[in-house]
Amino acid sequence: MSTAADTPLHARSLRTLAAQLRAREFSAVELAQHFLQRIDAHRALGAFLATDPEVTLAQARAADARLADGTAGPLEGVPLAHKDIFVTRDFPSTAGSKMLAGYCSPFDATVVRRLAEAGMVTLGKLNCDEFAMGSANENSAFGPVRNPWNASRVPGGSSGGSAAAVAAGLTPAATGTDTGGSIRQPAAFCGITGIKPTYGRASRYGMIAFASSLDQAGPMARSAEDCALLLSALCGPDPDRDSTSLDVPAEDFTRNLGASLEGLRIGVPDEFFGPGLSDDVRAAVEAALRELEQLGARRVRISLPRTELSIPVYYIIAPAEASSNLSRFDGVKFGHRAAQYDDLLDMYKKTRSEGFGDEVKRRIMIGTYVLSHGYYDAYYLQAQKIRRLIADDFQRAFEQCDVIAGPVAPTVAWALGGHGNDPLADYLADIFTLPASLAGLPGMSVPAGFGESGLPVGLQLIGNYFQEARLLNVAHRLQQATDHHLRRPEGF
């Protein structure tokens, strides 16, 4: 039987790394150096946008000092990396956009600060779709991210850099954000675990805004246990900085791990298993559901009848909020400014034309249109009404079940450039993740096996509000019975 000492450092769990750091089996500096070397060796993945060894090693030395004097936090000295949608004082914050190239924030996002207070050491900033708009991480102004399982495939988006870095063992954990599935879908495509908590559980302060009523931070790691440790550190109310932060105390999300699944009702929506679902994804998800049944859970057939409407609803509401949030990027106070212009209006036009990529411009235009006079009632207001109906569908479903399960995406990761110039193809790939986002529910992706060409498949678990601990336990029990989350891409 293998032991922790036989497992490479970059394949060990957060709990193991934290325990070994406390036991002084190695130092935080040695651990940070190990990951920095791996990052340098795998730059071709495109996962990292910024590293600064001096900053990282200074944080590691401070962690070693706290470990030595007994003031260590629960994850003291354990490294992680942040999606470049969170602002950080010590690293540039670009949101994957030319508009913010080289921007350095004077403060840390609340999520960044809380994880630092838990003792974690920052390795750097991770690539993402520009302003978190995308499903493939091909929209970054600084180049695409490649999937470690197959470098010709996308890693998913918008948190593709986070997912790829964890899957490749460049960091043991990462932060991500989920607006319409941007934690769950890349986690599925890269064979790792990721969770989006209930909307408002994690502070949005310092998260560069895309769609404020949807954006939510969450952790990405190899296992459900690792995600539970991270979520316990990053969640909690932030009333002085984020008006959408919920007044719900932080909690220990590891508390239920290992609990029996006997009698647990797992709702399986008919709409998640229609003709658009590929055979290989269907087979892997079915196998995972059977495994949960063997662990004592009971499958319940349910319906989420407005699933298909989630796509038009999301792609009205999210662009509308984006058009408002991104109006601040005008070249006046910070960010990119056009080098040559005639007057203020010309400066606005040229700055935004040069600074934003095609997908961001597309969503700003859609959002501006649906909010304009004469179209607000017909589009935006109607979308908000249907959003409420989608949330009501979930509440009716939860009268019949405890947890909802199904695929994360209709297919495995597609080829880089595979959707060409067809943005609708990317939008349709979000059909299974959008409903939970619109309802503000917690959802997660758990490795469920492998499909076409040996590419990972994710099982999506959706819970009722504030049921993150239950979701994490279901995922943990599945991972105790399977080894999908332990497998690593060849060469990593």
Whether 162 is catalytic is no
Instruction: State the residue for tokens 């706290």.
Output: 66
pLDDT, position 2: 45
Specify if 168 maps to a domain.
yes
pLDDT given for residue 374 in this prediction: 87
Residue 390: inside a domain: no
Q: Which tens digits make up the pLDDT trace of 91-135?
A: 999 999 999 999 999 999 999 999 999 999 999 999 999 999 999
pLDDT at 425: 82
Would you state the pLDDT for residue 428?
A: 87
Predicted pLDDT of residue 46: 98
308 part of a folded domain = no
360 occurs within a structural domain: no
268 within a domain of the structure (yes/no): no
Domain count, the chain: 1
Residue in 93, 135, 182, 445 annotated catalytic: 182
The pLDDT value given to residue 6: 79
Residues 6+ apart with CB under 8 A from 483: none
203 is catalytic: no
Structural domain including 233 reads 4-263+445-486
Measured CA to CA, the distance from residue 75 to residue 456 in angstroms comes to 28
Give the model's pLDDT for residue 424.
81
- Give domain status of residue 492, yes or no: no
- pLDDT tens-place values along the chain, 492 residues long: 345 667 899 999 999 999 999 999 999 999 999 999 999 999 999 999 999 999 999 999 999 999 999 999 999 999 999 999 999 999 999 999 999 999 999 999 999 999 999 999 999 999 999 999 999 999 999 999 999 999 999 999 999 999 999 999 999 999 999 999 999 999 999 999 999 999 999 999 999 999 999 999 999 999 999 999 999 999 999 999 999 999 999 899 999 999 999 999 999 999 999 989 999 999 999 999 999 999 999 999 999 999 999 999 999 999 999 999 999 999 998 899 999 999 999 999 999 999 999 999 999 999 999 999 889 999 999 999 999 999 999 999 999 999 999 999 999 999 999 887 787 888 889 999 999 999 999 999 999 999 989 999 999 999 999 999 999 999 999 999 999 999 999 999
The pLDDT, as a whole number, for residue 3 is: 52
pLDDT computed for residue 409 by the predictor: 97
pLDDT number for residue 420: 74
Query: Which residue out of 13, 97, 140, 158 is catalytically annotated?
Result: 158
Beta-sheet pairing, 48-50 with 79-83:
unpaired
Is there a domain that residue 396 lies in?
Answer: no
Task: Mark whether 98 is an active-site residue.
Answer: no
Given this model, what pLDDT does residue 4 score? Answer: 61
User: Residue 26: what pLDDT?
Assistant: 97
**Longest C-alpha distance within the chain, in Å?**
72
Q: Domain of 125: which CATH number?
A: 3.90.1300.10
Q: What whole-number distance in Å separates Cα of residue 196 and Cα of residue 186?
A: 12
In a domain, 64, yes or no: yes
Paired residues of 403 in beta bridges = 266, 463
